[in-house]
Amino acid sequence: MQLIIFSKMENIANQKEYRVLFVCLGNICRSPAAEGILKDMVSKAGLSNKISVDSAGTSGYHEGSLPDERMRKHGRMRGYDFCSLSRKFRSSDFDKFDIILVMDDSNYDKIMRLSPSVEDEKKVYRMADFLQHLSADHIPDPYYSGDEGFEFVLDLLEDACTGLFNKLRNGEL
């Protein structure tokens, strides 16, 4: 799957600012990959000062660890550097982020239970809802799969990140 390279916006000064957080179970496969992909898009569009990106996990099993080596390897093959350190999602993240994207229904349920208010619940989205060309109801965890599982997840994340980026760039979220 090829990524669309975005040109710089002519009027970046008027671009709305966003703080985006991706969430999966352990923060070592899906969410750091989504973080790296969106950061790459944002950087290429010259919007790093307008869109900040981070990731977290609903569990703290891998706190402080780099992303899974298999995900890093598959990311490198596509030109990405997935290098963020794993951390656990905290309810205070609702105060720090404007948009929280979860990878599956289990993540969604856990994050919604931590939401301090109805307003904060409105910040939570399912990543699969931003898919443009591929079809899936969630982003599957590739941890127990082979190379094809990691490649499939990266295909989904590139597609969904493109859809998300277009909405962010157009101020639609």
Q: In what order do the strands lie in the sheet with 124-126?
A: 51-57, 18-24, 99-102, 124-126
Catalytic residue among 30, 72, 126, 169: 30
Catalytic residue among 120, 141, 161, 169: 141
* 30 in catalytic set: yes
Do 35 and 157 contact (CB within 8 A), yes or no? Answer: no
* 113 in catalytic set: no
> Which amino acid, one-letter code, is at 165?
F
* 161 in catalytic set: no
Q: Is the dihedral of CA 63, 60, 78, 164 positive or negative?
A: negative
* Phi then psi dihedrals of residue 161, to 5 deg: -65, -35
Q: Which residues are catalytic?
A: 24, 30, 141
